[in-house]
Amino acid sequence: MTADLQQARSNASEATQEKADLGHRLEALTTQLKNASNDLSVATAGLADARTAAAAAARLAEVEINQREARIAELEVTNKDLDRQAAEAREMLAGLEARITDTERQLAAAEGDRDFLMRELQRLQTEKADIERRFNDLVVLRAQVRKLQTELAADSQLDAIREGLSQSRRLKGAELLRRGFPAHRQDDASAKVDLDVEIRRDGSSTIEQR
């Protein structure tokens, strides 16, 4: 009887110890589960931030690309207009050359009013000099516009932006989170070129960058 009681007490003590051990293990597992849940929350938030940053970077890159391509198109329009004005100036010069030659011939042959012919010759020569100056200004303007077009079109940063945009779209969220995002670099001066071209009625012309 005594032996059975002792055995029962021993079994009860072991059961109590096992229960305590299980309680400790359960508590440890609960703590681990909470930690894992917290880690998952942090990772999920980081992934959401990464996706948001990727979307923002893609939108920014698209805006920059569109702005640059629009600027190139504007410069092309300006260049065509300058080509047209240069062609008109060449035609005017050719006409003045013919009139000057004819007036000089009449003077040499003493045909008509020499004073009138001399004044007309001087007027034509002055007009020719003015148109030649305007034509030279147009040549300079065209060269500057084409230089700006070349700088914009050949800018390697445009290709880098396109490539970065393409890669960002292909990357999974976890890979973006792991790699991180490069800091956005401001465009250099050539990417921000703005051009004002003015041909005034008096024949003068200017080109300004702002």
Start-end of H helices in the chain? 2-108, 114-153, 156-170, 173-179
pLDDT at 24: 81
CA distance 69 to 124: 44
Q: What is the total count of domains within the chain?
A: 1
Beta bridge partners of 208: 196
Instruction: Say if CB 200 and CB 130 are below 8 A apart.
Output: no
Look at residue 27 and tell me if it is in a domain: yes
**Residue 132: CA count within 13 A, CB half-sphere:** 9
Is 1 inside any structural domain? no
Which CATH number do you get for residue 88? Answer: 1.10.287
- Domain range enclosing 91: 13-209
pLDDT of residue 174: 46
91 domain-assigned: yes
Report the pLDDT value the prediction gives residue 42, as an integer from 0 to 100: 82
Residue 99 lies in a domain: yes
Per-block mean pLDDT, blocks of 10 residues, the chain (210 long): 68 76 82 83 82 83 80 85 88 90 84 80 89 87 83 65 56 50 44 48 49
Please report whether residue 2 resides in a domain: no
Instruction: Confirm whether 183 is domain-assigned.
Output: yes
Tell me if 57 is assigned to some domain.
yes
- Is residue 71 one of the residues assigned to a domain? yes
Q: What is the pTM of this model?
A: 0.48
Residue 141's pLDDT is 85
Instruction: Specify the amino acid at residue 137.
Output: D
Instruction: Look at residue 17 in the predicted model and tell me its pLDDT.
Output: 79
Beta bridge partners of 200: none
205 contacts 138 by C-beta, under 8 angstroms: yes
Confidence (pLDDT) at 112: 65
| Cα–Cα distance, 7 to 201 (Å, whole number) | 119
Q: What CA–CA distances, in Å, run from 89 to 93, 130, 133, 198? A: 6, 10, 10, 16
